[in-house]
Amino acid sequence: MPSCIAWGEEKTQVCSETADQGYNECSQSEDQGYNSCSQTADQGYSECCTWWPCSWGCKALVWVSNVVCVAWTWVSNIVCVAWTWISNVVCVAWTWITTAVCVLWDVVTTIVNAILVTIESIVGWVLSAVAFVVELIEAIPFVGAIIRFIINVVTTIVVMAGSVVDFVLGAIGIRPEKILRVCTVILKDEKGNAVATNEVARQFLQLACDVYKRDANVRIVPSKAFQYNTGFAGAETVDDSWIMVDGSNSDSTLLDVPCGSANSALGLPASGFQLKASTLCFFGAWRRVAGYGAPVTCFIIRDVTDALGCQVMFTDYATIEGSLTWPPPSPRTLGHEVGHACLLRHRCVDEDNANMMGTQDECSPASTTLPDRANPRFSEWQVLVIRASKHVTYF
């Protein structure tokens, strides 16, 4: 079922539930109003003086007040019911207008993408060869990292500025499917042994695919040629073709990288990861340099020494701590780090322990609550930020 239609059905159900709740509140308010009128009238009668004409005048005044009270309650209930009905009609109408726009855009992107993917799958190799030269310069320690940082900042600002309209449409519920490309690489240790199994990598990726599609209508796809997709399908099913095992051995410089070290962003690790991304994920080089739809390269390494994963802002790669058995300590790590690449920040798990970006470190004082790592999700605001990222595009 298309995600746009699924979203429309979900919102229609919300409209219906809101209307039912509104009608119930109207009914309860009406009953309370009549009861209040009756109680006030009874109290008024009981407090009236007992001698005529005082008692007659008092009871007449109480009766008139009760009539006004009952009439006002009746009118208020009519207005309440009418407003609830109008609100429900507007809610349903707006939901299906936005859904229709969303579905129409999915049709357009499906057709256009079929053409553009074919062209890119042929021409992209040439463009990536040109971009490869730029990435070799970016792989120079320190100097290249600064150049890469500047390019990434500029491309991020440009793409996000161009996403303003899409951001606004997303805020009002028009969220056609967008695409996020990933290139996943498992490193080998000094002895030539992969630091993680393909099964672990598949599960990392599958969880990310499911959550990004479900919450943000963003389809995660492998960065490779002839990758056709449509908004009229569920999340991708990950297989071994998504995963690349590095053909060369690595040393501790790349296998055991602390996330908190500035050197991991500027020095030898960054240069090493940049070079591996350029060679192992060659097809996406032109997008990384141009910024539009830049693939996120996910390196599965032996140990992120002070975390489970790491993504340095304004870089196009993330490091994820590997495992030879499933489940690893946190199956959401890849999706979490890709979220950082899309400019999402951490959230305190005390506020939302199921959030994909939840962490104990963000809490002050430190939290003892553990994040729900098996069934994470994104908030509405996070969805809008993800969809505005340079990594997430329609084409």
Q: Same structural domain for residues 195 and 314?
A: yes
Of the candidate ranges 48-62, 191-205, 269-283, 349-363, the one whose mean pLDDT is the lowest: 48-62
Residue 38: per-residue pLDDT: 87
Q: Same structural domain for residues 85 and 132?
A: no
In this predicted model, which residue has the larger pLDDT, 87 or 365?
A: 87
User: If you search the block for the tokens 């997709």, which residue do you land on?
Assistant: 229
Q: What is the mean pLDDT of residues 88-114?
A: 92
Q: What is the mean pLDDT of residues 328-355?
A: 91
pLDDT over 90 (residue 286): yes
Please report, for the domain that includes residue 170, its CATH number: 3.40.390.10
Q: What is the mean pLDDT of residues 83-100?
A: 93
Tokens of 156: 């991020």
pLDDT over 80 (residue 50): no
Which residue range is the domain that position 268 belongs to?
128-393
Q: What is the mean pLDDT of residues 385-394?
A: 96
Q: Same structural domain for residues 45 and 133?
A: no
CA 384/CA 395 separation, integer angstroms: 18
Confidence class of residue 106 from pLDDT cuts 50, 70 and 90? very high
118 part of a folded domain: no
Residue 262: per-residue pLDDT: 55
CA 131/CA 284 separation, integer angstroms: 9
CB contact at 8 A, 185 and 281: yes
73 part of a folded domain: yes
Q: What is the pLDDT of residues 110-132, one digit of tens each?
A: 999 999 999 999 999 999 999 99
Residue 295: per-residue pLDDT: 97
183 part of a folded domain: yes
Q: Same structural domain for residues 206 and 144?
A: yes
Beta strands in 294-345 (DSSP E): 296-301, 309-310, 317-321
pLDDT over 90 (residue 46): no
pLDDT over 90 (residue 306): no
Q: Same structural domain for residues 210 and 61?
A: no
107 part of a folded domain: no
115 part of a folded domain: no
CB contact at 8 A, 134 and 150: no
Q: Same structural domain for residues 194 and 134?
A: yes
Residue 86: per-residue pLDDT: 94
CA 295/CA 387 separation, integer angstroms: 14
Q: Among candidates 278, 311, 283, which has minimal Cα distance to 222? A: 283
Residue after which a domain boundary falls, among 72, 96, 120: 96
Give whichever of 166-175, 211-220, 255-264 has the largest mean pLDDT: 211-220
103 part of a folded domain: no
367 part of a folded domain: yes
Q: What is the pLDDT of residues 171-204, one digit of tens each?
A: 988 999 999 999 999 999 999 999 999 999 999 9
Q: Same structural domain for residues 191 and 293?
A: yes
pLDDT over 90 (residue 226): yes
Q: Among candidates 225, 229, 203, which has minimal Cα distance to 217? A: 229
Q: Same structural domain for residues 207 and 353?
A: yes
Q: Same structural domain for residues 72 and 158?
A: no
176 part of a folded domain: yes
Confidence class of residue 374 from pLDDT cuts 50, 70 and 90? confident
pLDDT over 60 (residue 155): yes
In this predicted model, which residue has the larger pLDDT, 60 or 346?
A: 346
pLDDT over 80 (residue 250): yes
Residue 42: per-residue pLDDT: 81
Q: What is the mean pLDDT of residues 31-41?
A: 86
When divided into structural domains, the chain yields a total of: 2
In this predicted model, which residue has the larger pLDDT, 384 or 36?
A: 384
CA 335/CA 210 separation, integer angstroms: 10
